[in-house]
Amino acid sequence: MSIEPSVRVEDKLFYNRYLVDAGRAHIKVRPHTKPSPELLSMLKACPARCYELNDKGQVEITVDGCIECGTCRVICEGSGDIEWSYPRGGYGVLFKFG
Amino acid sequence: MIEERFDAIVVGAGMAGNAAALTLAQRGLKVLQLERGEYSGSKNVQGAILYADMLEKLIPDFREDAPLERHLVEQRFWMMDDRSHTGLHYRSDDFNEEKPNRYTIIRAQFDKWFSQKVREAGATVLCETTVTELAQDAYGKVIGVRTDRADGEIHADVVVLAEGVNGLLGTRAHLRERPKPDKVALAVKEMHFLPRETIEARFNLKGDEGVVIEAAGTISRGMTGMGFIYANKECISLGIGCLVADFQRTGETPYGLLDRFKRHPSVAPLIDGSEVKEYAAHLIPEGGFKAIPQLYGEGWVVVGDAAQLNNAIHREGSNLAMTSGRIAAEAIFQVKSRKDPMTAENLSLYKSMLDQSFVIKDLKKYKDMPALMHTQSQSFFLTYPELVSRAMQNFLRVDGTPKVEKEKTTFKSFVKARSWSGLFGDAFRLARAWR
């Protein structure tokens, strides 16, 4: 049986260019004690792995590596788990190729 | 507030927005186009294939200076299981024509060129500007937009929403719903760089010839999805996408899926030794005809991916985007020429013109395909690819088993996996949804 090598998303994001808007996260997670199933699914579904579980079992987001696909908006905005906006003009991911 | 008033504001500078802004400016309208990226293309992600016919309608001589990668002479469809693929390849020298029909492109470069054409036609293009909401009057009529710039509100007779698949403005203004997880796919893509000669040798190409591989099967782990490999001049676009609802349901990771696709024995040799220079992700509208929202209203129209105009079966999107942008602009020009106001009633001309075009006709033809693919994903993306692979291997492997017995084994494996009624049902449902 072959062993699946683990994928490091961080290495993938390292290829990309970003202009980070420090202190102005364009996605915010609503404070919660227990995360909803929608929010929990983002731990796996986010292609940039921006969502992580903290030691209290709450879901946190770090948007610096976000590639602005909108998957979390599609899954979580409806349930009110997150607030989603686009970064300010010029900020965020800067694709060289797209 | 910017005092200047515009005939039209176009939100977004992707394929649909650029087509709309260009057409409006060519017709002499005073156009403002707003784009949140540092330039047109810096936020845009696609495979990407360009369809010449739809661009020719906007810029007839585009081949003279557009940044094109390779013209496509070959298409490969791969049905994959974990160790094999069964292929259907079509290659023709007819595609080596004076004016080729399809090209691979790199969106960040192509869109920059397209945007230059929009400026040359006379539109004002303002980048690094995020539109935060639509400005509406007391009756709900859209009268302009608000941006994240200090001098916020800008007014126009009509706003063209070309804000992409994940457009916020239309949803915030309750003009259409947010896309649902079962109506959009999440695709992830990497750009693999290799020397030109290496790409040409590996893909059997000469000069600027190009090839596209579309792959489906166990690579999507039972989810509704597809992989793709596009040969550019000096790089390969490689990606895979599946329905967001399927990612949510299965807990598969997009990057895990991508890396398994890259390690597949049929794929790995193609990208061996390459240098990856970008990792991108993007949503793709997959709901088809039934997911198309309201396309126009008081003072607004919606075009391209924002209107979910994507043909998931033929993997066409940018041409539907360009065409809907152009048609919306032509409709606006007609209303404007008659000196009529930009009411919903007058702007309904856009929808009736779009209904007559290939855009809506094609989406209507496949209106039942998304539901079929989404509900039968296990059969179409796991069971059948595995059965076909086994059948092919059984057919090809020479081991002294009489052919009659081999055929029996293959038939039995199909019936065992799907039952007779399942097989006929699948064939019937597929034929009905396709016609």
Q: Delimit the domains of chain A by residue range.
A: 9-94
More confident residue, B3 or B82: B82
B74 part of a folded domain: no
Question: Are residue B163 and residue B208 in the same domain, yes or no?
Answer: no
- Per-residue confidence (pLDDT) for residue A68, from 0 to 100: 98
**Residue A3 confidence (pLDDT):** 56
Domain that holds residue B390: 370-434
CA distances from B376 to B88, B188, B248 (A): 22, 23, 17
Q: Total structural domains in chain B?
A: 3
Residue A67, min C-alpha distance to chain B (Å): 6
**Can you give the CATH number for the domain in which B225 is found?**
3.30.9.90
Check whether B1 has a pLDDT greater than 90. Answer: no
Partner-chain contact A85 B132, CB within 8 Å = yes
Q: Specify the pLDDT at position B127.
A: 97
What would the mean pLDDT of B19-36 be, rounded to a whole number?
98
pLDDT over 60 at A2, yes or no: no
Q: Which of residues 19-58 of B touch A (CB under 8 A)?
A: 36-38, 41-46, 48
Select the residue from B40, B240, B248, B274 to test the A interface by mutation, using most A Cβ atoms within 10 A. Answer: B248
Is pLDDT above 90 for B377? no
Cα angle B285, B287, B290 (rounded to 5 degrees) comes to: 135
Do B225 and B207 contact (CB within 8 A), yes or no? Answer: no
CA of B284 to nearest chain A CA: how many angstroms apart? 10
Query: Per-residue pLDDT averaged across A85-90, rounded?
Result: 96
The chain-wide mean pLDDT, for chain A, equals 94
Residues B122 and B271 in one domain: no
Contact B260 A4 (CB under 8 A): yes
Q: Are residues B35 and B166 in the same domain?
A: yes
Q: What is the mean pLDDT of residues B21-41?
A: 98
Answer whether residue B95 is part of any domain: no
Instruction: Quick: pLDDT tens for B244-254.
Output: 999 999 999 99
Q: From chain B, pick out residues whose CB is under 8 angstroms from the CB of A7.
A: 253, 255-256, 258-259
- Token pair for B44: 């845009």
Q: Using the predicted structure, report yes or no on whether residue A7 has a pLDDT greater than 80.
A: no
Mean pLDDT over B342-358 rounds to 98
Side-chain-side CA neighbours of B32 within 13 Å: the count stands at 22
Considering the domain boundaries, does residue B142 fall inside one? Answer: yes
Nearest CA to B232 among A11, A97, A17?
Answer: A97
**By CA distance, what is B130's nearest residue in A?**
A89
Residues B16 and B165 reside in one and the same domain: yes
- Is B75 part of a structural domain of the chain? no
Q: Which residues of A touch B (CB under 8 A)?
A: 4-5, 7, 9, 12-13, 15-16, 19, 38, 41, 44-45, 47-49, 67-71, 73-75, 77-78, 84-90, 92-98
B302 and B172 in a common domain: yes
Count CA atoms within 13 Å of residue B280 on its CB side. 31
Mean pLDDT of chain B: 96
Same domain, B158 and B207: no
| Residue B79 forms part of a structural domain | no
First to last CA, chain B: 53
Evaluate if residue B47 carries a pLDDT over 70.
Answer: yes
- Å from A1 to nearest chain B CA? 13
Question: CB neighbours of B45 closer than 8 A, spacing ≥ 6?
Answer: A95, A98, B107, B189, B280, B281, B282
Same structural domain, B333 and B411: no
My answer on whether B172 and B189 are in the same domain is no
B237 is a domain residue: yes
Residues 126-185 of B with CB under 8 A from A: 127-130, 132, 147-149, 165-166, 168, 178-181, 184
Q: pLDDT tens digit string along B149-166?
A: 987 799 999 999 999 999
| Residue B225 falls inside a structural domain | yes
pLDDT at A1 > cutoff 50: no
> How much is the pLDDT for B140?
95
pLDDT at B52 over 90: yes
CATH number of residue B111's parent domain: 3.50.50.60
A41 Cα to chain B: minimum distance (Å): 6
B130, A41: Cβ pair inside 8 Å?
A: no
Q: What is the pLDDT of residues B174-233, one digit of tens each?
A: 999 999 999 999 999 999 999 999 999 999 999 999 999 999 999 999 999 999 999 999
Nearest C-alpha in B relative to A40: B248
Task: Give the mutation candidate from B104, B106, B255 for the A interface (greatest A CB count, under 10 A).
Answer: B255
Residue B411 contacts by C-beta under 8 Å, 6 or more apart in sequence?
Answer: none
**Percentage of chain B with pLDDT > 70?**
100
CA distance, residue B60 to nearest chain A CA (Å): 25
Domain edge (last residue) among B245, B268, B285? B285
B31 and B123 in a single domain? The answer is yes
**Both B221 and B338 in a single domain?**
no
Q: Do A67 and B280 touch (CB under 8 A)?
A: yes
Optimal mutation site among A69, A88, A93, interface B, most CBs of chain B within 10 A:
A69
Which residues of chain B make contact with A86, given a CB cutoff of 8 A?
36, 130, 168
Write the CB contacts of B46 (distance below 8 Å, at least 6 apart in sequence): A98, B107, B282, B317, B318
**B402 and B295 assigned to the same domain:** no
Using a CB-CB cut-off of 8 Å, the residues of chain B touching A15 are 276-279
Classify residue B275: in a domain, yes or no: yes
What class, spelled out in words, does domain A9-94 have in CATH?
A: alpha beta
* C-alpha closest to that of B118 among B24, B253, B216, B244: B24
Residues of chain B found within 8 Å of residue A16, distances taken between Cβ atoms: 278-280
In this prediction, the answer to ipTM > 0.90 reads yes
Residue of B193, B213, B198 lying closest to B278 (CA atoms): B193
**Are B47 and B237 in contact, with CB atoms under 8 Å apart?**
yes
Q: Which residues pair with B316 in a beta bridge?
A: B311
Whether B398 and B356 map to the same domain: the answer is no
- The shortest CB-CB distance from B251 to any of A44, A68, A94 is to A44
